[in-house]
Amino acid sequence: MKKHRYGLWITVIVVIIAIIGGAFWANGRKKASSSTKPTINIATAGTIFPNAYRQNHKLVGYDVDVAKAVAKAEGYKTKFTVTDFDGIFGQVDSGRVDTVANDIGATQERKQKYIFTTPYNNETTNIAAKKGTSYQNLKDFEGKTVATSGAGNNFITTLKKYDPKIKIKVYETRDQATQALITGRVDGLLYSRATLSAIIKKQNLNWHVVKDSAGQALVAYPFKNDTHGKKLRKVFNKGLAKITKDGTLNKISTKYFGYNITSQIK
């Protein structure tokens, strides 16, 4: 009887060891599988709602979520580096990151140095003003001051070409620029129509986006024009095609802007 009980306990112990060992093996295999995935390194300023910003200490936003979905579709991991926008392209130049997720317009000037993916947004250059003011068109801002953020952003260049008589005050972050109009320190806020509409909706602001656009540039992910950059751009283009086809891109767009902004890409 004692031998029988002893044998039973041995059997139970062996089974327990087998179960625990199997769990460790499965977990180790899962970790190994995850660690073998290639990584795409991405820079962002992390200060621009609704494209790339922090929410509950987590980096989120349209450009961030699209990059993550693209990478996942192609079996890649993403690693984000938050840096000042003024030096964001320097991160790409030095090879510290592969690309940028920060509402980057694929302008002709930038195309001379970088290669871009398929566009995933259409960046127009617009100005928002408080309702009840006399600002109805872009020309109404001549001699007035509008706020924006990031000294190297494309809206500044586009608006200066369109009308150099409009003064531009550049803030470090999008929140600071938005507050400048809320408190009346400036007369307007300079970004894309989609971004301005998202800001107005989120903060329930009594503003409107005035008529006209100073110009537009398709938004895409930039890569260094070398062998590695060309390889990753191909990966991104394949991923963008997949998430466009299965409706993921539309869902992300609707989540942050309230409508499918990709339908305006031409």
Distance CA 265, CA 217 (A): 10
pLDDT of residue 2: 46
pLDDT of residue 37: 86
Distance CA 147, CA 102 (A): 18
156 by DSSP, 3-state: which? helix
Q: Which domains does the chain have, with CATH numbers?
A: 39-120+221-258 (3.40.190.10), 123-216 (3.40.190.10)
- What's this model's pTM, rounded to 2 decimal places? 0.77
pLDDT tens-digit profile of 108-165? 999 999 999 999 998 899 999 999 999 999 999 999 999 999 877 889 999 999 999 9
Q: Which residue has the tokens 């499918």?
A: 260
Calculate what percentage of the chain has a pLDDT beyond 90: 71
Tokens (6 digits) for 97: 């990151």
- Higher-confidence residue of 20 and 86: namely 86
pLDDT greater than 70 at residue 92: yes
pLDDT tens-digit profile of 190-223? 999 989 999 999 999 999 999 999 998 899 999 9
pLDDT greater than 70 at residue 20: no
